[in-house]
Amino acid sequence: MTATDPTYEQKEALAVRGKPLLLTAIVALICGIGWVRYLTGPEFAFSLLYLPPIIVLTWFFGLFWGIFSALLSTLTWLLADLSLVEQFSNPYIPLANETFRFIIFLFVVFIITRYKKILARQKELAMMDPLTRIANRRAFFHLAGTEIDRSRRYGHPFSVMVIDVDDFKQINDRFGHETGDHLLITVVDTIRRHIRGIDILARFGGDEFVVLLVRTGEEAAAMVARKLKNRLLSGMDENRWPVTFSIGLATYHSVPENVEETIKAADRLMYQVKHDGKNDIRHAVLKN
């Protein structure tokens, strides 16, 4: 990110400011279509012209505004037809026509709403580890990128912790994969209970987890790491699982170029612990 690139907060502010303008423009467009209907008379049908604004309002503003746009579209058409009611063979024809159109518009609104929910669910599943129900690697890079941009802007330190389960393979070999899955879920539950809601936890591999400690300097990060390790070991002892934990911890006072670089330092520290006998914490503070 260069100095001229918009920050996450700036992008969010632009999006928030843009929504009222988009809403106003679409409502005006719907009213304009009704006015054209009035000018051209009942010989020309403009039903399809209402669909784009209805779809846009439903997609960007939700079900309520979708229904509102369907109702507004129907009313503008009805008002135009009522002003031309003498051109119909029966005065009730406009009411029947607009009732049918309103049902069609509502059908479109509910289809778009349902489709958007399906896409959101698919996106959520793509960003989630299916076993532990926490962020996966892809989600972590997205979420951590936002937090690191914020740290770059405000000058806050942050810390990255890589936690690896020592000798996890023997759990699967001795007790089976179901027990191995239970162990991983227990690890995640323990970590969750002892980090803050603003911190980011993700599963990177079979038995490797990454935690981004937001706005956390070296002293607080070291305390969290020690506390987590003790709690994790206690949980393993309670279940009689013969595993320990190797933890690499990197605290940053200056932000690296990208998220991957922030993880590499903590990952190297974790592997140093592995090489030196496992079941320990290695911490580095990076200021330049």
Are the CB atoms for 160 and 250 separated by under 8 Å?
yes
Contacts of residue 134, Cβ cutoff 8 Å, sequence gap at least 6? 128, 188, 192, 201, 202, 203
Are the CB atoms for 1 and 152 separated by under 8 Å?
yes
Amino acid in position 89: S
Q: Give the end-to-end CA distance of the chain in Å, rounded to a whole number.
A: 18
Residue 164 structure tokens:
């690896």
CB atoms within 10 A of CB 253: 15
Place of tokens 């937090």: 147
CB atoms within 10 A of CB 216: 25
H-only helix segments in the chain: 8-40, 47-61, 63-82, 93-126, 137-154, 168-175, 177-193, 218-239, 259-275
Are the CB atoms for 157 and 151 separated by under 8 Å?
yes
Q: Tell me if residue 181 is catalytic.
A: no
| Among 81, 207, 267, 280, the one annotated catalytic | 207
CA distance 80 to 40: 10
Contacts of residue 184, Cβ cutoff 8 Å, sequence gap at least 6? 131, 132, 165, 203, 207
Catalytic positions, please?
A: 207
